[in-house]
Amino acid sequence: MDPGAGTSYLTVVEKQIIVNVFKKVIIDDPTDKTVYIVAEITSVLGVTKSTVYRTIKKYKCTQMVRPFDHKGCRPALVKNFDENMKIAITQIVHSFSIEMKFPL
């Protein structure tokens, strides 16, 4: 796992590694609390605690490892305008550029 990629999302393989280490620690010592298990996983893999908690929680709920659900970005403001509004805005912008008077 790349420690320099702090803002990237985990791949399915990386999530599977976290789950496999979690299973191994549970098999070795089933009496450990989750806090100690997560601390051990973070020290071994170099992943933040919140990432480990989130991955384990999703695994316990679904019993499978899924890729990140990327919903996409925020829709553009222009998509909310109808064609007449776009034409009106274009005319206003062009009138400023033709007269060389830009509002401040």
Q: What is the pLDDT of residues 82-97, one digit of tens each?
A: 899 889 988 888 888 7
Question: CA–CA separation, 5 vs 48, rounded Å?
Answer: 12
> Residues with Cβ < 8 Å from 52, sequence gap 6 or more?
18, 22, 38, 41, 42, 45
Domain locations in the chain as residue ranges:
1-73
In the predicted model, what is the mean pLDDT of the chain?
83
Q: What are phi and psi of 31, to 5 degrees?
A: -85, -10
Mean pLDDT of 39-47: 92
Q: How far from each other are the two terminal CA atoms of the chain, in whole angstroms? A: 48
Q: How confident is the model at residue 8 (pLDDT cuts 50, 70, 90)?
A: low
pTM over 0.75, yes/no: no
